[in-house]
Amino acid sequence: IDPALDLFDEIERLKREKNAVILAHYYQEPDIQDIADYIGDSLGLSQQAAKTDAQIIVFAGVHFMAETAKILSPEKKVLLPDLKAGCSLSDSCPPHLFSKFKENYPDHLVITYVNCSAELKALSDIVCTSSNAVQIVDSLPKDQKIIFGPDKNLGRYVQKKTGRDLVMWNGACMVHEIFSLQRIVRLKERHPQAKFIAHPECEEAILQMADYAGSTTGLLNYTMKSDAQEFIVATESGIIHQMEKENPGKVFIPAPPNNTCACNDCPHMKRNTLEKLYLCIKNELPEVTVPMDIVEKARKPIERMLEISA
């Protein structure tokens, strides 16, 4: 890349020239969030992917998100700045094992969290995100038996909120499982006025302490509505960029991880950089593709989710 290039200007120019839209998740680095046409949580991003008029969707997020966009808009070109931007939660549920697991519960409906592969979505009845999982389970008849996967932490949270018994897959997100309960307790003692907010991918003991739990958009909205001036934030730290932009003067403290990790960054989300984003839109590569038979099977459970959350 020519060091004299202003990547912000170049990306803007290429976007117009190619009729491309940049959709970015809140966990992306600040520069990417700042140049995106839309920033959101997984639900918001899939709603945008379903309705955009652009020819090219540049997905600044991870692989399962770009796949979801492709499933919803198969006629569009979907690009991901780094094809290796995966997800530990998605990896914790290989479709061939889930398929065997599902055979043990033939009378159960399968709800899968959107953080999973296209193949897994194709094995599901309804997809959900962290912002609508409770609503989706609540929308089903009380006697409906349900398998929930792959995130056991979100599953447990939904179970508690809905009072339903879910058969759960034992998966988790590496970023949300590393928070240190002891360090958070000590931090709260030092900041007694701070609100403690957490993503439902966090473990139960962390969620029990939270003043509010919700998706990334839910957490951001909470900070905007709350009168509190200080927040301890238990999710990937990328969201703090938007929290600071939307709340000048308020203070956001990332919840501390345990001593195996230095920070709360998602190594998958952070594979994307402004340079890779520029090269991706310029070269229209790497492209995310999904086999047509999987697109057809995976589209129904995603559309069912979008209908329930409309």
Q: How many residues of this chain bind ligand 13P (CB under 6 A)?
A: 10
Smallest distance, ligand SF4 to C-beta of residue 144, A: 26
Is 104 labelled as part of a ligand binding site? no
**Interface characters, 157-186, with ligand 13P (x: CB under 6 A):** ----------------x-------------
Q: How many Å apart are CA 39 and CA 16, to the nearest integer?
A: 18
Is 201 labelled as part of a ligand binding site? yes
Q: How many residues of this chain bind ligand SF4 (CB under 6 A)?
A: 12
Q: CB of 35 within 8 A of CB of 60?
A: no
3-state class (DSSP) for residue 7: helix
Is 216 labelled as part of a ligand binding site? yes
Q: CB of 153 within 8 A of CB of 201?
A: yes
Smallest distance, ligand SF4 to C-beta of residue 87, A: 3
Report CA-CA distances (Å) from 281 to 36, 107, 194, 288.
12, 45, 41, 13
Is 256 labelled as part of a ligand binding site? no
Which amino acid, 72?
A: L
Q: Is residue 268 within the footprint of ligand SF4 (CB under 6 A)?
A: yes
Is 25 labelled as part of a ligand binding site? yes
**Interface characters, 166-205, with ligand SF4 (x: CB under 6 A):** -------xxx------------------------------
3-state class (DSSP) for residue 78: strand
**Interface characters, 84-113, with ligand SF4 (x: CB under 6 A):** ---xxx------------------------
Residues in 108-137 that interact with ligand 13P by CB under 6 A: 115, 129-130
- Contacts of residue 199, defined as CB under 8 A and 6 or more positions apart, other chains included, come to 130, 176, 213, 214, 215, 216, 219, 234, 235, 236
Paired with 166 in beta bridges are 146
Judged by beta carbon, residue 201 or residue 203, the one nearer ligand 13P is: 201
Is 199 labelled as part of a ligand binding site? yes
Q: Which single residue is written with the structure tokens 């009072």?
A: 163
Of ligand SF4, ligand 13P, none, which one sits near residue 197, judging by CB under 5 to 8 A according to partner kind? Answer: none
φ and ψ at residue 280, rounded to 5 degrees: -65, -45
Closest Cα partner for 176 from 154, 198, 201, 206? 201
Triad 163, 166, 170: Cα angle to 5°: 130
**Interface characters, 59-88, with ligand SF4 (x: CB under 6 A):** ---x------------------------xx
Is 191 labelled as part of a ligand binding site? no
Helix (H) / strand (E) containing 46: helix 42-51
Smallest distance, ligand 13P to C-beta of residue 215, A: 3
How far is Cα of residue 152 from the mean position of the Cα atoms in its chain? 15
φ and ψ at residue 38, rounded to 5 degrees: -145, 135
Of ligand 13P, ligand SF4, none, which one sits near residue 215, judging by CB under 5 to 8 A according to partner kind? Answer: ligand 13P
Residue 163: CB atoms within 10 Å = 9
**Interface characters, 203-232, with ligand 13P (x: CB under 6 A):** ------------xx----------------
Which amino acid, 38?
A: Y
Feature table: binding site for iminosuccinate: 25, 42, 113-115, 130, 199-201, 216
Which residues are at the interface with ligand 13P (CB under 6 A)? 41-42, 115, 129-130, 173, 199, 201, 215-216
Feature table: binding site for [4Fe-4S] cluster: 87, 173, 266
